Amino acid sequence: MDLHPVLINGSWRSADAPTGSFSATNPTTGEALEGRYPISSRADIEAALKAAAEAGPIMRALTPETIAAFLESYASKLEENREAIVQAAHAETGLPVEPRLSSVELPRTTNQLRLAARAARERSWTRPTIDTATGIRSLHEPLGGAALVFGPNNFPFAFNAISGGDFAAAIAARCPVIAKVHTSHPTTSRLMAECAHEAAQEHRLPSGAIQVLYRMDHALASEMIASPAVAAVGFTGSRSAGMTLKAAADVLGKPSYLEMSSINPVLLLPGALAERGEALAGELFASCMMGVGQFCTSPGLVLLPGGALGEAFVQSATEKFASGTPGVLLGKGVRDGLEESVQTLIDAGATLLCGGKIGPEPGFRFQPTLLKVSASAFVKNPHALQTEAFGPVSLLVICESESEWHGALSALEGNLTGSLYTATQNNADDALYSQLAPALRVKVGRLLNDKMPTGVAVSPAMNHGGPFPATGHPGFTAVGIPASMSRFAALHCYDNVRAERLPSLLQNKNPTGKTWRLIDGVWTTADVA
């Protein structure tokens, strides 16, 4: 059977001596989908690395306008091919065409590419800093090598290695991208990559600017990271895979940006429960069901008080979860992993309130699942009880006293988000909020009030990052243009460099008249006086 080609060095070509092949599975039916894709051998890897190494200096020398035009053209082509792409993603992920794939995720993805284009043009992401007294000037410039991006299974567009946030940020920062797309949706990725490739040719990006591989042995992935052609790693996926890639990058001092795991604690304070407990149970359920619980920001841990208030919430939430239908998961691996994680939680002392079982075939489904545990049990076994159950699962932690709230917070690992719900009609929760919020603050990247964490706006102020093990560095975000771009840049200082040799952004005249620069401590779009 013919294998689909890989995109290496500017052309779609047959994989060179592939070590195997695979096809995707329709998770709704459990049946294999058409199209076989290669598992790349070292020959493909080496060819891609060589092309990326050659592309690096050319990409750095491109104008931001060229990069921006490419990104916009790519976004348009995705829209032109929306129907085929959405159908492929639906078949490969089981996610609904409407609204999710067609009206939410694809528009979000093209919007992100266009925001990246605008940021590239505007140039302020480079944070040019000029110190006229010392003659020292600096800014952020491309790393000088390629970004190796590993995409996850759960967002076939918005986090795809060939179209998502890491891709947009790295390309807008003028780094070549080697996209290792997720094996669960190769056809979706191929159709998107065809658009990217066409746009790259139109705008004459170097041939190694954008390359696509479908799969390779883990050892070869680590070898790629070690190559001088690769300057940084972007990864979204499981903690175990992330840590393997991180180790390969760390030993060579290469930045790796990993989004690994997060259970996104939600704190329901007593006043909020008293005021709107039933509504909050509905909010929690709706949030847990988004993408069948397969969001990085799905609320997998809920802290709430005991007593009658807590009991009423537990009962209401249990009813809602019990009434939910087992949705289609992204694949067999997700379903089986979920079964295992739920068992881990139960073995660690959690009580199953409802669900907990694999859903009916065909396809891969899991029941909406709710568990509970006392805070006192939680703090005795916090590691196992923070196992990420990637799917429609949440664990309620019952805090019987203020000290139990504190104990549970202290035992928390790093997370992407943390939510606090409090009374809106009175100040019943204010004192407890003041106690808990600082403790939660340092454990999470994004703190929310009265809002579930699912839904990650593409905003310059967004932080889709957080302390380990949510990510590998608490100072960077994977979502939010232009902040996410700085991950793929190095700080470059120019000391006594002759004026005409400075990058245009560091010359006295502001080259765009619009770029924000920090000149002698003042942010301005003006020229150096």
Residue 198 is a binding residue for a second copy (CB under 8 A): no
Give yes or no for residue 12 binding a second copy (CB under 8 A): no
Report how far residue 148's alpha carbon sits from residue 233's, in angstroms, rounded to the nearest whole number. Answer: 5
Stretch that binds a second copy, among 9-17, 306-314, 367-375, 446-454 (CB under 8 A): 446-454
Q: Which stretch in 41-49, 79-87, 369-377, 494-502 sits in contact with a second copy by CB under 8 A?
A: 494-502
Q: Tokens 């080259």 correspond to what residue?
A: 511
Q: Kindly state the tokens that stand for 415.
A: 């997370």
User: Catalytic pick from 288, 296, 354, 399?
Assistant: 296
x-or-dash pattern for a second copy, window 52-71, by CB under 8 A? ----xx--xx----------
Considering the rule CB under 8 A, would residue 31 count as an interface residue with a second copy?
A: no
* Neighbour tally for 72: CB within 10 Å: 19
131 binds a second copy (CB under 8 A): yes
- 299 binds a second copy per the rule CB under 8 A: no
Which three-class secondary structure state does DSSP give residue 498? Answer: coil
Measured distance CA(466)–CA(167) in Å, rounded: 20
Q: Which residues pair with 26 in a beta bridge?
A: 31
Q: Nearer Cβ to a second copy, position 132 or 325?
A: 132
Number of neighbours of residue 323 by Cβ within 10 angstroms: 10
Contact between 528 and a second copy by CB under 8 A: the answer reads no
**Is 229:196 a contact under the CB 8 Å cutoff?**
no
27 interacts with a second copy by CB under 8 A: no
Is 296 part of the annotated catalytic residue set? yes
Asked if 462 touches a second copy (CB under 8 A), the answer is yes
Helix then strand count (H, E) for the chain reads: 15, 25
- Choosing from 17, 219, 226, 252, the residue that interacts with a second copy (CB under 8 A) is 252
**130 sits near a second copy (criterion: CB under 8 A):** yes
Nearest to 175 by CA among 279, 79, 267, 52: 52
Q: Does 138 bind a second copy (CB under 8 A)?
A: yes
* Helix intervals (H) in 40-157: 42-61, 64-80, 82-93, 106-122
Answer for the pair 317, 368: CB distance below 8 angstroms, yes or no. Answer: no
Q: Tell me: does residue 457 bind a second copy (CB under 8 A).
A: yes
Our finding on whether 527 is near a second copy (CB under 8 A) is no
Does 240 contact a second copy by CB under 8 A? no
Paired tokens of 444: 């999470």
**SS3 state at 356:** coil
At residue 158's C-alpha, the angle toward residues 153 and 163, to 5°, is 95
CB of 468 to a second copy, least distance (A): 3
Q: Which is nearer to a second copy, 360 or 475 (CB)?
A: 475
Closest CB 47 distance from a second copy, rounded Å: 20
Residue 526 in the binding site for a second copy (CB under 8 A): no
Q: What are phi and psi of 63, to 5 degrees?
A: -75, 150
Q: Which is nearer to a second copy, 50 or 60 (CB)?
A: 60
Asked if residue 433 binds a second copy (CB under 8 A), the reply is: yes
By the rule CB under 8 A, 476 interacts with a second copy: yes
3-state secondary structure of 421: strand
326 is an interface residue for a second copy by CB under 8 A = no
Query: Among candidates 188, 201, 177, which has minimal Cα distance to 56?
Result: 177
Name the segment binding a second copy (CB under 8 A); options: 135-143, 188-196, 357-365, 386-394: 135-143
Kindly compute the dihedral angle of the four CA atoms of residues 398, 399, 400, 402, in this order, to the nearest 10 degrees. Answer: -170
Binding a second copy (rule: CB under 8 A), the pick from 28, 110, 126, 129 is: 129
Q: Which of 166, 163, 165 is nearest to 148 (CA)?
A: 166
Confirm or reject binding of residue 474 to a second copy (CB under 8 A). yes
451, 507, 511, 512: residue in contact with a second copy (rule CB under 8 A): 451
Residue with smaller CB distance to a second copy, 67 or 292 = 67
Of 151, 163, 146, 153, which is closest to residue 224 (Cα–Cα)? Answer: 146
439 binds a second copy (CB under 8 A): yes
Q: Which of 72, 194, 259, 413 is catalytic?
A: 259
Is position 483 an interface residue for a second copy (rule: CB under 8 A)?
yes
Q: How far is the CB of 50 from a second copy (least distance, A)?
A: 14
> Could you confirm whether 80 is annotated as catalytic?
no
Which of these, 393, 370, 151, 188, lies nearest to 292 by C-alpha position? 393
Query: What dihedral angle (degrees, nearest 10) is formed by the CA atoms of 10, 481, 466, 428?
Result: -150
Q: Which is nearer to a second copy, 189 or 287 (CB)?
A: 287
3-state DSSP assignment of residue 140: strand
Binding region for a second copy (CB under 8 A) out of 22-30, 253-261, 335-343, 368-376 = 253-261
Q: Which residues are catalytic?
A: 259, 296
